[in-house]
């Protein structure tokens, strides 16, 4: 990752975490392998699963060969399971 992009990514992660903490949410840890593929910042009282559709579409458009989706239990909702269970191996 170029230095300028890494710096911007670090600054963005700090801003996102400050907003999450201000709204009572746990901060994101920057994955040690750099696998943060998409982020959607939502208003403080919006459930994480609400942002899933936009992030899923963005990531699968950029990486059309995706075969497996890994997410925590906040994303295991009836809507998400129904909509995406036919596309990739889901929620490992």
Per residue in 63-85, pLDDT tens?
888 777 777 777 788 888 887 77
Grouping H, G, I as helix, E, B as strand and the rest as coil, residue 41 is: coil
Burial class (CB in 10 A: 0-12, 13-18, 19+), 2: exposed
Range scoring the smallest mean pLDDT among 4-8, 11-15, 53-57, 74-78? 4-8
pLDDT band at 92 (very low <50, low <70, confident <90, very high): very low
Query: Residue ranges of the domains in the chain?
Result: 1-36, 45-92
10-25, pLDDT tens digit by residue? 888 888 889 889 989 8
The pLDDT of residue 5: 65
pLDDT, position 87: 62
The verdict on pTM exceeding 0.85 is: no
d(CA 89, CA 75): 14
């Amino acid at each position: 990752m170029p230095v300028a992009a890494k710096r911007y990514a670090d600054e963005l992660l700090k801003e996102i975490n400050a907003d999450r903490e201000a709204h009572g949410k746990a901060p994101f840890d920057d994955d040690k392998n750099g696998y943060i593929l998409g982020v959607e910042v939502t208003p403080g009282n919006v459930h994480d699963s609400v942002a899933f559709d936009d992030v899923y579409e963005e990531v699968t458009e950029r990486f059309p060969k995706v075969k497996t989706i890994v997410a925590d239990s906040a994303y295991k909702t009836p809507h998400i399971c129904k909509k995406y269970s036919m596309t990739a191996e889901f929620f490992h």
